[in-house]
Each structure stands twice: as C-alpha cells, then as structure tokens.
Amino acid sequence: MVTVPQDWWRSFFSGVALDLWRQAIPEQHTRADADFLYKTFRASPGARLLDVPRGNGRVALELAARGCPVTGVDIAQSYIDEAHARSAERNLPATWKHGEMRDLPWTAQFDGAYCWGNSFGYLEDEGNAVFLQAVAGALKPGGRFVLETGTALESLLPNYQERRWYEIGDILFCIANHYDPLRSRLDTEYTFVRDGKVDKRLGSQRAYSCNELCRLAAEAGFADVACYGSTAGEPYEPYRLGSPHLILAATKC
C-alpha cells in the first residue's frame, strides 16, 4: 500500500468522486436520515442546525425543508455551489460556507450539529479532537450533536474486506483497504472507472473504538452520550459489535 498524504482530503473531493456520491444514496435514505436527526435534535421549525462537512447538502436540504435554518460547511467548492443553487431554487433557509471542518467561527449559535456520512476521522488525532471542540463551541448549551461513522473499530474489523467492487450508476468503483493496527488507520486506494477512464485516489481514516469516541466527545465538552447501531424505529437499536455503523448522540454541556 502506498503512503497516503496526511492532507489527502484537500484534493480528493472533486470530479468523479463527487459524481459517485451523488448517485450512491437514494432519496428515501436521505429522508430517513433527516427523520432521525430531526427527532434526535428534538427540533422544531426555526431550530438552527449545523452540517459539517455537508457534501452536496442532501440531508441539510431535507432538514431546511422542514423549517430548520441550516448552515453547511464543506471543502469542495463544487458541492457548495450545487447546494447553494438547490436551496435557492427551492427558497430554503440554508447558508453555505466553503472551508474545512475545523473552521467553525461561530460561538453558541446552533441548536444542533451533525457530522454525517462517515466523514469523521480524516484528520490526525489532534485535528479530530479540535473538530469536536469546534462543534461544541458552535452549539448553544444543551444543543445536540450527532456523529455517524462506519469506521468505528467494532464496525470495521468484524466486517473487514481488503477489496470490494461496486457499480453505481455509470461508475465502476473499487475500494482496496489496508488496516494499519499500529496507527489504527484504514488506508484506502479508490479506483473509479467511467467511460473507459480510470481515476485512482488515496484516502485514510482514523479508526476509533466506541469507547475512544465517547471519551473524545466528553473531553470536547459533551455529556449524555448515547450510541446507536441503527436509525430505524424507536427505541433505536443500541450499538454493538458488528453493527454496520455507529451513530453517537451527545449534548453540549
């Protein structure tokens, strides 16, 4: 496995990679994600929400359509432009900021915040901790935070595969994984094939245990941490070994 640059995420999110994510998730999944977040935030119309990093705003737009002013932050300018156009077309209460996930200049302004779509862990340990602290700083006391990840160790290792192929729309997509136990990181080579053209990119995520993530959340200023393994039904299924992803919900102290 080749060495992945520490700041791989600065150049990864463009072109065919973004086109793949646009096609990968059906609308009903987006509505289910928004349902879960709305309930977990105990939101009502007018609640101010922060989505970071927000991709093309698929969940943010659904929440904004329910009357929640949403602010989204993302490093991909094309996604920012797309979200802006879509929210303007529907006259939704949404604001978009181009920047990386630690760049959150707000203080106690949001009722809820979320990091959705397996977007946590791109940074090194210090950067991941700074991100959580920045989210806590942007939330009002009592505000809720939700983090979703598929690379918590209890999800990653029982379901680990070194190589997987997918066909998503007009894109053939391969994930080649290498888990480094000394660094607790999943290094991945992504291959995108479309119209006979091959595009290879590298990525890396820090794989934390559930316990480590709970501790990081507490150190950042969160309490009442709950961990779920599914967003379906109520009460929500507790997180356990082998759950496909971890949903961590916590409250700003």
Of the chain, the percentage scoring pLDDT greater than 90 comes to 92
- Number of other residues whose CB lies within 10 A of the CB of residue 127: 16
Per the DSSP assignment, residues forming a β-bridge with 176 are 163, 189
Under a CB-based contact definition with an 8 Å cutoff, are residues 33 and 116 in contact? yes
Q: Return d(Cα 234, Cα 132) in angstroms, integer.
A: 27
pTM for the full predicted model: 0.95
Q: How many residues does the chain have?
A: 253
Using CA atoms, how far residue 52 sits from 192, 203, 241, in Å, is 25, 19, 27
Angle value at C-alpha 65, between 59 and 71, nearest 5 degrees: 60
Contacts of residue 77, Cβ cutoff 8 Å, sequence gap at least 6: 98
Supply φ then ψ for residue 182, to 5 degrees: -70, -30
User: What is the set of domains in the chain, with CATH numbers?
Assistant: 9-150+209-252 (3.40.50.150), 156-203 (2.20.25)
* Residue stretches of the chain with pLDDT short of 70: 1
Under a CB-based contact definition with an 8 Å cutoff, are residues 79 and 111 in contact? no
Give kind and range of the element (H or E) at residue 231: none
What pLDDT, on the 0 to 100 scale, is given for residue 253? 95
127 three-state secondary structure: helix
